Amino acid sequence: MENIWGILVRNIYKNGRQFSSTAELEQAIAEAWEHLHVNTLKSLIESMTTRVFEVIRKNGGLIMY
């Protein structure tokens, strides 16, 4: 989930964009969500198995993702 938020935030605030109202920010979030590439989401979903096993291997410690 953090990766998706990171992608969204970078798209929402690209080029130093600022918002003057909550409604304007909500609109930008909706647009960024609509423009997320399916392949990006699919890649993140497919990587979850590897991530989970890595967390188990590290006994809940930090992993390289």
**4: number of Cβ within 10 Å:** 13
The answer to whether 21 touches 15, Cβ cutoff 8 Å, is no
Cα–Cα distance for residue pair 61/55, rounded to 1 Å: 6
Report yes or no: 57 and 28 within 8 Å, Cβ to Cβ. Answer: no
The Cα 50–Cα 64 span in angstroms is 11
pLDDT at 13 over 80: yes
Mean pLDDT for 46-51 is: 89
Q: Which residue has the higher pLDDT, 31 or 65?
A: 31
The one-letter amino acid at 17:
R
44-61 average pLDDT score: 90
Considering the entire predicted model, what is its pTM? 0.68
Per-residue pLDDT of 14-46, as tens digits, reads 989 999 999 999 999 999 999 999 999 999 999
